Every structure is written in C-alpha cells, then in structure tokens.
Amino acid sequence: MAEQRVYRLGYQLKNREGEVVDSSAGAEPLHFVSGCGQMIEGIERAVDGREVGECLEVTIPPALAYGEHQPEKVRKMPRSMFQGVEKLEEGMKFQTDSGDEAQVVKVVGFEDDQVLVDANHPLAGITLYFDLEILEARDASPEEIEAGEPLA
C-alpha cells in the first residue's frame, strides 16, 4: 500500500447464494483511512489504488476478514454467571469483562448447568462477498492519519 488514503465506499454484502445480507443503501457508507486498522484487510487490498466511480466485486476469504472460527473461543460457563437473566436462550449476546478488555459472547447451547458461549466474531470463518463502489478516494491529511479516521 502506498500513501494512506481516505475511502468512502457504497457496499452490498452478499451470502454465498448471492442474496444481499447487508448494504449501505439508506445507511452510512464505509468510511476509513487506509492502513489504520479500521477496515478488514481484504477491503483495503481491494480498493488500494482505485479511484472514484470504480465498482468492484470482491471475494474476501476469512484470513483477510475476521479470521477463521477458533474452537477454543467456544467455552462453558456456569449458569450462575447469568444471574438476573429471566430466560436464557440460544442466540443471546452478552458483554463480558475479562479484565483486559470487554468481549461480546453469544450463547450457542446448554449442557446441564453449563452455558456454551462463543467469543468468535459473528463473521469468523465466513467468506465475504462484496459489491463495492468507490464514492471517495483521496490522500489522507496528516491529521486524519494521526486520528486514524476521516475527519471530513
């Protein structure tokens, strides 16, 4: 990657079957400074050197997105850790604080008095299929590089 640039991207995220599962239509486009770690590597690589008006179809493997699903991030926790939750169900998400950093876990099952939780990113292990449109592409200012985000 050459100089750090500011990109604003219209996007559609599709599943393997080509169905749109997320889109910037009616929402904010992706807006980031390249090289600052805000955006997944696969998108940064895809837009590097591109200019306004270009449209791309991009397939991003897990290694360039949210990583592979890590089985060691699925673990058992005692039900007692969920006191105050009236009805504990699969799919529920909770924020935990391990001391180092906050983490979101998803309930994925139950075993006796244990709750199975998954701390993987929801898109870990999944290949992403994007349609991207470059809406803005310009050199980042020193202030934007320092802030790690677009300022305008």
29-58 confidence digits (pLDDT tens): 999 999 999 999 999 999 999 999 999 999
pTM across the whole model: 0.81
Inter-residue contact 64 to 42 (CB < 8 Å)? yes
Strand partners, 107: 117
pLDDT in tens, 107-116: 999 998 999 9
**Amino acid identity of 137?**
A
CA dist., res. 120 & res. 129, Å (int)? 20
CA dist., res. 25 & res. 118, Å (int)? 30
Q: Among 94, 144, 138, 150, which Cα is nearest to 117's?
A: 94
Helix, strand, coil percentages for the chain (3-state, nearest 5): 15, 40, 45
Inter-residue contact 121 to 67 (CB < 8 Å)? yes
Rounded to 5 degrees, what are φ and ψ at 48? Answer: -55, 120
